[in-house]
Chains A and B, each alone.
Chain A
Amino acid sequence: MSVKRVFRAESLESATVLLNEHAPEAQVIAGGTDLLVQIREEKNRGSIMVDITSVPELQLIDIKPDCIRIGAMVRFTDVVENDALKNLVPGLWSACKSVGSPQIRNLGTLGGNLANGSPAADCAPPLLAMNARVNVASIRGQKEIPLTEFYLGKGKTALQNDEMIESIIIPVSTIKPVLVSFEKLGLRNALAISRISASVCVTLDENAKILTCGVASGSLGLNPVRETELEEWLIGRTLDEACIKEAAKKFGDVVEERLAGRSSMPYKREAVQGVIKPALHRVLKNFKDMR
């Protein structure tokens, strides 16, 4: 539908008030990279936009010893240009760098990437794998939702009409070094929507035994998901060449079962192995480099 009004929010509070006041017609506009495409196709949910691009508190990147807080308006380029994030959360950094094109990365935000509920959202797999939470704001206050509970099917999220993402919170392990990686398979090297993506987040002991493990994928279902079956299989194993090979096969089996009956299955069953392998290889390499 056409856009009737755009309100420019100056603060988080004014944004939530505007959203509440104009619900259900109101919706948040941040980077706009998905929303303007929806508006063009008249597939946008609301006719009243609450523009949060100028809300200062949503632009912050706050790195604390036990967690990283990334404001909803932080753009992909802000992450890509942040060396601290590149070191601390390389999987998220790679995912942000893999988004579309410079023009899209210069506009698109992490909050928007999650809020639009796309199964191909590049940031979702690393954030899922790292047990990230979204902090949701409304006039009723703020609440944290684990990302694993955020997605409710294709294009659907746990956000109510008058709620918005305030920030994304990534817990940081203070004991063991965490290794995160991200791999994406698109149809070309830029401007590519992910056909398959996967992210791995593990802690290893000194012998490369997997202590904790998060694996998440994109474009393999209605929304990005945690690959719990694969995680359970990986925990307790030693990460080496043989393990990676077997894990890839295991992942292929999981996907074969999940996509049974779909025309994309015969390819995705094979190709996921080509995506998870380098993701695991990268963490193994980082582990070896660290030692």
Chain B
Amino acid sequence: MQMIKQGKGIALSWYGTGYGNGFPDVSIATVDLSPDGKVILRVGATEVGQGAKTIMPQICAETLGFEPGEVTMICEDTDSFKDSGTAAASRQTYNTGNAVLLASKAFKEAVFVEAAQYMGLNASVGLAMEDGLIWLEMLPEKRMTLVELASKITEEDRVLTVTETFTAQTTTMDPETGMGAPYWPYTFNAYGVEVDVDTDTGRVHVTKAYCVQDVGRAINPELVEGQIDGGFVMGLGYALYEDLGVKDGVIKNNRFAKYIIPTAMDIPEIQKVIVEDPENTAPYGAKGIGEPVMVPVAPAILNAIYDAIGVRILEVPATPEKVLIAIKQAGLIFE
């Protein structure tokens, strides 16, 4: 019968998020109170599919005691928000998330100061806010809604808007020794796979995937899992299929019929574990994971291939051609 050898492999990885090396890594966020009492979050975190539009309002809502549906995020137009840096470097959750946290906290303070005034209090200390209601904790009948506050501010032709900036901490490295603190924070993970290697054709099939992902804290576990799945499958493609076939500067595989990425038929069940170890400097402890989720996949698969057939594949992708020729060159015979 077909000679299928099975193997397992694991890999760890680490990933320093952010621009790094002392380059100013700045995000700006604005929180406004609309005239009808709604919270508007203006932030330049582009929604590229990663979920920025979902988690930024979550961070803001958490801080203000709202359900996230009550926060409207605007990120579509350079006129309506300030620069929050690029949606890359796994930096939006940490960097822009921090700016959102700072702006939300400052907004809450500003609301309390305004509310104290309208409620005739001596100070804003001791006020609380949840679901759009502001009250004095020691005397709960002293209360007003955010909608009432907004209408009063609007009546006076004023607006309540708060903008805050977060800048991440890294340093440049010494050009000769590399000494320095190039990134912060780092995200870690440990992934494992099981593979079947068809020793007659060199085809590798990943049969199981286990992904243990450090996230600091998951703002939204559904989105974290989605990132893990997507990163795993992109890593699988990188390990087994993907190569642009550049020859003399020409991309030979410049079509989907030739540049092979995984389909639903090529993926295993992906078991996911989220490990939480909150990072103090991060918004609610959350670190970036968009890139880290891809990083350990290919080496785990390559280690599993070795475990299955005793041959090291040192060049990705581990195509059937490379695997089979490596088997033959190693003089291995599987019966």
Contact = CB atoms under 8 A, between A and B. Distances in A.
Tell me, yes or no, whether A and B come into direct contact in the complex with CB atoms closer than 8 A. yes
Given A189-B265, A191-B263, A277 B2 contact: yes
B193 to A, nearest CB: 16
Contacts of A278: 1-2
Contacts of A129: none
Contact of B319 (A187, A189, A193, A273): A187
A189 B263 contact: yes
A274 B263 contact: no
A118 B263 CA distance: 24
A277 B324 contact: no
A146 interface: no
Contacts of B260: 187-188
Interface in A140-195: 185, 187-191, 193, 195
Interface string A263-291: 00011001101110110010000000000
A188 B265 contact: yes
A283 to B, nearest CB: 13
B324 A188 contact: no
Contacts of B321: 267, 271
A188 B263 CA distance: 8
Contacts of A267: 202, 320-321, 324-325
A189 to B, nearest CB: 4
B273 to A, nearest CB: 27
Given A271-B201, A271-B324, A187 B241 contact: yes
Contact of B264 (A190, A266, A277): A190
B200 A266 contact: no
Interface in B255-277: 257, 260, 262-266
A54 to B, nearest CB: 29
Interface-centre pick from B201, B257, B262, B324 (highest chain A CB count, 10 A): B201
Nearest to A41: B255
Interface residues of A, number: 19
Given A274-B2, A277-B2, A188 B200 contact: no
| Chain B binding surface SS class | loop
A275 B200 CA distance: 8
Contacts of A274: 2, 198, 200-202, 324
Nearest to B264: A190
B142 interface: no
Nearest to A276: B200
A150 to B, nearest CB: 25
B189 to A, nearest CB: 25
B252 interface: no
B203 interface: yes
Nearest to A244: B1
A266 B266 contact: no
A191 B262 CA distance: 9
Given A190-B266, A277-B2, A185 B325 contact: no
Interface-centre pick from B1, B2, B264, B320 (highest chain A CB count, 10 A): B320
A281 B1 contact: yes
Given A187-B260, A273-B200, 18 more contacts: A101-B263, A185-B201, A187-B319, A188-B241, A188-B260, A189-B263, A189-B265, A191-B263, A195-B320, A266-B325, A267-B324, A270-B202, A270-B324, A271-B321, A274-B2, A274-B198, A275-B201, A277-B200
Q: Which 6 A-B pairs have the closest CB atoms?
A: A274-B200, A274-B201, A189-B265, A190-B265, A190-B263, A267-B321
Interface of B: 1-2, 198, 200-203, 205, 241, 257, 260, 262-266, 319-321, 324-325, 328
23 contacts: A101-B263, A185-B320, A187-B260, A188-B241, A189-B263, A190-B266, A191-B263, A266-B325, A267-B320, A267-B325, A270-B202, A270-B328, A271-B321, A271-B324, A274-B198, A274-B202, A274-B324, A275-B201, A277-B2, A278-B1, A278-B2, A281-B1, A281-B2
